[in-house]
Chains A and B, each alone.
Chain A
Amino acid sequence: MKRRTVIVTLACLIAVVALVLVGTVVGSSSLTIMDVAHTLIGAGTPGQQLIVVELRLPRVVAGLLVGIALGLAGALMQTFARNPLATPDIIGVTSGASFGAVAAIVLGGGSYAVGAGLLTLGLPVAAVIGALVTSAVVYGLSWRGGIDSYRLILIGIGATATLTGITSYLISRAQITDAAAAAQWLVGSLSGVSWSSVWPVLVAVLVVTPLALTQTANLEVSQLGDDISTGLGVALQRHRLIIIVCAVVLTATAVSASGPIEFVAFVAPQIARRLARSSRPPLLASALLGAVIVLGADALTRGVLPGEVPVGIITAIVGAPYLIWLLTRRKENLV
């Protein structure tokens, strides 16, 4: 790793730790740092126990993991497709996961917040299945003797439009409580997160991150083009399959925990790449920066803004203009 990349990665790590602390200590009920510390070692009152362990910690941990998963998934996809626009949001992975999850919420009955037994297990599974099927279909349809990243992006946009339409249809036919739950979930929010929704994304991050990091060297080489990388001994098909499955599983589990928090997977790798001044997004720094963005946005919704604005709305309001700004700059060579 370049020295600058190491420094950026460490800086992101420090920011993540700081935001985790802030997220645990600051909240609507005022506890001192000492109270929180006492509670964490098991010496708090039952009330403090409830606030810290059951309300704040899962939210912070979920934000951390979801951010890592989205940042890493975005970096993997962007590097793989050699195109910054090829993020899970745009090529349809996110909408596939959302469709699966909304189907589970609406057809499974019961509201999401209650976390009925079926849903606790069913939501992440449905999201992963939806994402996997969608990516397989999008990838298959984009294949014409090879993958062209423009075609991948456009087919992804088409798939997203179709899936969004069908998802809206499910919501329009649901009970109003389920519809409200699904609509709430669809904007991406950390406010209703409990420990049960954290586990899938925790497992995914723990398993997938090392697997993805084993592909770092191959990713580097594959930037040179298919022929050269095959010549240099990269098993290209296997490498591609690993990257795609990693990105899809990370995205889908993240979506199942918090709902689709948009633009994180696009923005985090791009900022990390610019900070590190490297030719492709650095994986670890992108993952950590994703966590910084999600935790930061969540802190903003809890501490600064009136009412509870869902995280996904903040990331969209910040991320979309960033993408639009990049689009207006010709020399950015975005597409």
Chain B
Amino acid sequence: MLVVLAAIAVVVTVVSLMLGSNLISPAAVFTGLFHPELDVGAIVWGSRVPRTALGLLVGIALGVAGAVMQGQTRNPLADPGILGVSAGASLAVVIGIYVLGTSSILVTLWLALAGATVASVVVFSVAALGRGLSSPVPLAIAGTAVSALLVAFTSYLVLSDETTLAAYRVWVVGSLSGRTLDGAGAALAFAGVGMVFAIANVRSLNALSLGTELATGLGENLLRARIVGLAAVTLLTASAVAITGPIGFVGLTAPHIARALIGGDHRWLLPASALVGASVLLACDVIGRLIGGTAEVSVGVVLTVVGGVAFVAIVRRGKLATL
């Protein structure tokens, strides 16, 4: 199954290189790939390749972040967007734009990481203090409440300064358009460290899927497992948010699709979620490039529509069993 998913991801990657608002024939793209010195090569290497590479990175990061989050909480609705992690990252980034006047990716990365960490610690503590992490409604409401609070602060900053608004409104919809590889190395490093934490968390995630009591009984150090998982989620989300801006629903849908195809064992679920996340994100980006004509619809917007439908489907699918 993993091979099939990988094949799909490769196909979507190729499609993403071939199609775009700039109409170039696939043959020309192919030529351009191997001849960067030509005009067509400049387009391909200047825009299509970075865009596709960043899309892959963001999709993989969000897919794995969602899988770790759902595994940690055993909550089917866990997603960096819904739980306010992206809102935390956004507020921190806006503070960066407002106070430091910069949106350079390196600064953005650290700010997004700080904001994501604070928001997720708050949301999970609130839910854990109440009904526990695995009940869908309290966790989702905690996410909504924390998001509302963060968005209020964000709006205040954005409204008091028009240049901040101008930068923010483009950033907040989540887009791959016009993103270059400058600073992508730093984002890749963040995502890589996050991935290491996620892989280190696999055994714990499998133990946690039996329930916290059983996991503790099996000798699992709960606190350590939680911290490692949280580190993975925040690092992966921050790297994605820093590149594209907040993109919702990938972290929600990718693990669900992966789980339906491959089962609940996290050793397989994490790579499968990564592949599905990358495919979904790139596919939505291609759709956005094509439906908008010259004025592209950004990938974040396409995903809110596609992901909203998926969210409703998950909620409607019988009673929401804990994972």
Interface residue ranges, A against B (CB under 8 Å): 85, 89-90, 141, 144, 150-151, 153-155, 157-162, 164-166, 168-169, 171-173, 176, 179-180, 183-184, 186-187, 262-263, 307, 309-310, 312-313, 316-317, 319-321, 323-324, 327-330, 334-335
Residues on A with C-beta less than 8 A from B170 are 172
Residues on A with C-beta less than 8 A from B304 are 161-162, 164-166
13 residue pairs from A and B, CB less than 8 Å apart: A151-B316, A154-B137, A160-B144, A162-B311, A165-B305, A166-B304, A179-B166, A179-B169, A310-B155, A312-B155, A316-B148, A328-B130, A329-B130
Residues on A with C-beta less than 8 A from B135 are 335
Give Cα distance in the complex from A179 to B249, angstroms: 25
Task: Known contacts A159-B308, A162-B304, A320-B152; decide if A85 and B141 are in contact (CB<8 Å).
Answer: yes
- Check B126 against A169 for contact (C-beta < 8 Å): no
Task: Known contacts A141-B316, A155-B315, A184-B159; decide if A168 and B173 are in contact (CB<8 Å).
Answer: yes
Q: Which of B126, B140, B303 contacts A328 (CB 8 A)?
A: B126
Task: Known contacts A159-B308, A320-B146; decide if A172 and B173 are in contact (CB<8 Å).
Answer: yes
Residues on B with C-beta less than 8 A from A162 are 304-305, 307-308, 311
Give Cα distance in the complex from A223 to B84, angstroms: 33
Main secondary structure on A side of the interface with B: helix
- Check B129 against A328 for contact (C-beta < 8 Å): yes
Give Cα distance in the complex from A176 to B172, angstroms: 15
Residues on A with C-beta less than 8 A from B320 are 150, 154
Of B82, B130, B153, B307, chain A has the most CB atoms within 10 Å of the CB of B130
Residues on B with C-beta less than 8 A from A171 are 169
B142 lies within 8 A of chain A by Cβ? yes
Q: Which of B93-101, B227-235, B293-301 contacts A (4 or more CB under 8 A)?
A: B293-301
B312 lies within 8 A of chain A by Cβ? yes
A-B pairs under 8 A by CB, number: 155
Task: Known contacts A169-B297, A172-B172; decide if A187 and B142 are in contact (CB<8 Å).
Answer: no
Q: Which of B130, B140, B162, B249 contacts A157 (CB 8 A)?
A: B140
Chain B: minimal CB distance from A160 (Å) = 8
Chain B contributes a number of interface residues (CB within 8 A of A) equal to: 52
- Which residue of chain B lies nearest to A137 when distances are taken between CB atoms in the complex? B312
Task: Known contacts A317-B149, A317-B152, A330-B131; decide if A165 and B248 are in contact (CB<8 Å).
Answer: yes
Taking CB atoms and an 8 Å cut-off, the chain B residues in 7-40 that contact chain A are none
Chain A: minimal CB distance from B94 (Å) = 12
Give Cα distance in the complex from A194 to B135, angstroms: 45
Taking CB atoms and an 8 Å cut-off, the chain B residues in 172-208 that contact chain A are 172-173
- Check A183 against B158 for contact (C-beta < 8 Å): yes
- Check A313 against B141 for contact (C-beta < 8 Å): no
Taking CB atoms and an 8 Å cut-off, the chain B residues in 279-323 that contact chain A are 295, 297-298, 300-301, 303-305, 307-308, 311-312, 315-316, 320
- Check B312 against A141 for contact (C-beta < 8 Å): yes
- Check A169 against B152 for contact (C-beta < 8 Å): no
Residues on A with C-beta less than 8 A from B130 are 327-330, 334
Give Cα distance in the complex from A259 to B301, angstroms: 23
Give Cα distance in the complex from A157 to B136, angstroms: 12
Q: Which of B129, B141, B159 contacts A183 (CB 8 A)?
A: B159
- Check A327 against B316 for contact (C-beta < 8 Å): no
